[in-house]
Amino acid sequence: MPQSVVILSKGLEKSYGSVRALRGLDLEVKGGEIFGFLGPNGAGKTTTIRCLLDLIRPNGGTVRVLGMDPQKDPVAVRRRTGYLPGELHFDQNMTVADALRFLNSLRAGKADWKFVLHLCEHIDLDLHLAIRNLSKGNKQKVGVVQALMHRPELLLLDEPTFGLDPLVQREVLQLVKEGRDGGATVFFSSHILSEVQEIADRVGIIRKGAVVETADTGALIGRTLHRARVRFLRPVEASVLETLPGIKILAREDDRTINLQIEGEMDRLIKALAAFPVQEFETERPSLEEVFLSYYEADRTVGN
């Protein structure tokens, strides 16, 4: 496996009894990128990450992390990775400093304590606080610090900004970017589509245990559906616009205003609108959310 591929899985399978959590998951994460892993609860995100760390064993398929098989070399894989679990639990009898020192001792003291202090300062974390008295957000901060403090080659982050206020979210995302800029590869799962859109170089969408789409974030958004709102000077018969390929009228706000969905280039629509008395023309920047939700629209339709 080329060293430029940091995570590689082929046909990954994992079942819990009769429930298939992963169904032939194929995944490739390149070195030095920030890869966003999107999916709702139950899609298989946490199961995937736990397979990468040998916390659970897949039933089929192959997985390689940093060129190693996690089942054969789990300690070697974990030595070079930093992990932030989706749910954090620390020894309640410790202080923040105690907890970080203990976790650092498991890495033979690899982390530079000055760097630990720098990280804590960045996200406003008091080392002297007792774990038992921490809010969920502050516990998350401890989790972020322990994942980053030893400057790992690979970061596995499960919902990294969960429970954090917007200011600290921004700091954490900045730390993630700095980690990438320092040469680390970042693999993170999230429900917050805006943050994935903001920092991820590539996005993978997981649905029912399989990756259904992987692409550069910008390209994925570019391929997606655009929205436009057109207001005419007077009522017009706009249904002719739907005869254009890729154009669909979503709604009519009133007899002069329509909302359109455009697939592909906007040029066709703009040229067609030239024949109409247009008063206002607004377009919406497409979002990752629409791409994401489109993969689940079929499920919701069936559910309804």
Q: Which residues bind other proteins (CB under 8 A)?
A: 16-19, 21, 41-47, 50, 53, 55-57, 74-76, 78-79, 81, 83, 85, 87-91, 93, 102-103, 105-107, 146
- CB of 81: closest distance to other proteins in angstroms? 8
- CB of 288: closest distance to other proteins in angstroms? 21
Single-letter amino acid code for the residue at 2: P
- CB of 207: closest distance to other proteins in angstroms? 12
What DSSP state is assigned to residue 46? Answer: H
Counting beta carbons within 10 angstroms of the beta carbon of residue 97, is it exposed (0 to 12), middle (13 to 18) or buried (19 or more)? middle
- Residue closer to other proteins, measured from CB, 14 or 226: 14
- Within a 13 Å sphere around the CA of 244, how many CA atoms are in the beta-carbon half? 22
- CB of 181: closest distance to other proteins in angstroms? 24
- Residue closer to other proteins, measured from CB, 29 or 51: 51
- CB of 85: closest distance to other proteins in angstroms? 5
- Per-residue buried b or exposed e for 51-90, using 16+ beta carbons within 10 Å of the residue's own CB: bbbbebebeebebbbbeeebeeeeeebbeebbbbbeebeb
What is the rounded CA–CA span in Å between residue 246 and residue 263? 5
Tokens encoding 270 = 């703009």
- CB of 88: closest distance to other proteins in angstroms? 7
- Residue closer to other proteins, measured from CB, 53 or 192: 53
- CB of 19: closest distance to other proteins in angstroms? 5
What is the rounded CA–CA span in Å between residue 258 and residue 268? 17
CA angle at 142 for the pair 159 and 102, rounded to the nearest 5° = 125
- Residue closer to other proteins, measured from CB, 110 or 248: 110
- Residue closer to other proteins, measured from CB, 81 or 169: 81
What is the rounded CA–CA span in Å between residue 114 and residue 149? 10
Q: What is the DSSP pairing of strand 60-65 with strand 210-216?
A: unpaired
- CB of 31: closest distance to other proteins in angstroms? 20
Task: Check: CB of residue 229 under 8 Å from CB of residue 65.
Answer: no
| DSSP string computed for 275-297 | TS-EEEEEEEPP-HHHHHHHHHH
* Partner residues linked to 30 by β-bridges: 5
CA-based max dimension of the chain:
74
